[in-house]
Structure 1
Amino acid sequence: MVLHAPELRTEQTAKALGLDATAEPALRDLDCGAWSGKSMDDITPGELMDWLTNPAHRSHGGESITDLLARVGTWLDTLAGSGDRIIAVTHPGVVRAAILHSLNAPAESFWRIDIPPLTVTTLHHRAPAWTLRTAAHELSD
């Protein structure tokens, strides 16, 4: 099964990789509400600091980091034990959330994981939990 986040850029990336993918809403990028489309310079330093240090912060009216973690964790748990191999073309934040879920790590660790674009992260479900096999492995030509 090959999936992509519903945003156009992930569909385009999947096509560029030669993948015939289906949109999966659970893979959508973090909803930054009123901050969407703005640069960090457009956001007051206090609000930005709150967002970067408090995973439950959502003064922008969108999702908090804890909301993202819950969404991605719930989606992963629906796949657990299915035996399906899944390729998911998605956003770095969604990958961070999947890694935190697989490691049962705290939400405060979200910004400590660096996931560059166009990298591969591999998770494996081994009952009763997800395991992290590789993170941010660069695609080879």
Structure 2
Amino acid sequence: MHLTCLSLPAPDCLRRAIIPARDDLPALPPGQAAHWCAGVPVTCGEDNAARVGPWTGRTPLPHPALRARCHGAWQGRALRDLPAHEVAAWITDPAFAPPGGESLRDVLARVTEWLAHCPTDHKGLALVADALVIRALVLATLGAGAGAFAALDIAPCTRTVLTFHNRWRVREAGTAAAF
């Protein structure tokens, strides 16, 4: 089984150091990722399902565990407007969660649970998600803790492939994808 993970483009607000709000989703031109998803089911987070379908040319099977990280009260706010000590903790402490939001540990736990129950009886599955969710999938595959988030980069608009043969393996991570 091949799980081909496509990381979504980053929302434009990140270039301005603004934490994305729930509705700050990246633009996804119709059909742009269709060749990566031909002949396999597509899954994604519930937050992106309406846009992932036209982008991939397939009707996605959304799952709540694959949604982007919830930043709670920080959504839509500029980093410079947040308390510096909290931003420092957000960057360095995987257990830190913004008020009403999720920590990296929370994200890793929900993604690890999803991967443990991912059906492996398909030939393949395409997963479209935020790069942080795909980082969590790689860490779950490797059995790494949330502290390892800082040691792994998965850029937007890249492909990561996990394979399953009795257990999950990382075949490739963060490869440039033409979409």
TM bracket (short chain): 0.7 to 0.9
Instruction: Write out per-residue CA displacement over residues 15-39 of structure 1, whole angstroms, 9 at most, x where no aligned residue.
Output: 2232331222111011111111122
Which residue does the alignment assign to 1:132?
Answer: 170
Alignment partners' CA distance in 2, 1:79 and 1:13: 19
- Contact 1:2–1:86 (Cα < 8 Å) also in 2: yes
> CA separation in 1, counterparts of 2:98 and 2:75?
12
CA-CA distance at 1:83 after TM superposition: 2.3
Q: Hey, what does 2:56 align to over in structure 1?
A: 17
1:42-77, CA deviations, whole angstroms, 9 ceiling, x for partnerless residues? 221110111111111114221111011000000000
Alpha carbons 2:160, 2:172 under 8 Å: kept: yes
Matched, 1:78 2:112: no
- Contact kept, 8 Å, 1:4 with 1:11, in 2: the verdict is no
**SS at 2:150 equivalent:** helix
TM-score, normalised by the number of residues in structure 1? 0.87
- Which residue does 1:2 correspond to in 2? 42
Number of residue pairs matched by the alignment: 138
3-state SS of 1:140 partner: coil
Residue ranges of structure 1 left out of the alignment (5+ in a row): none
Identical positions, percent:
33
Greater relative contact order (CA < 8 Å, ≥ 6 in sequence): 2
CA distance in 1, matches of 2:80, 2:74: 11
Report the counterpart of residue 88 of structure 2 in structure 1. 49
Maintained 8 Å contact 1:4/1:14: no
User: 4+ residue runs of structure 1 moved beyond 6 angstroms?
Assistant: none
Q: In the alignment, does 2:144 pair up with 1:98? A: no
TM-score (norm 2): 0.70
Ranges in structure 2 where 5+ consecutive residues have no aligned partner: 1-40
Residue 106 of structure 1, CA deviation: 2.3
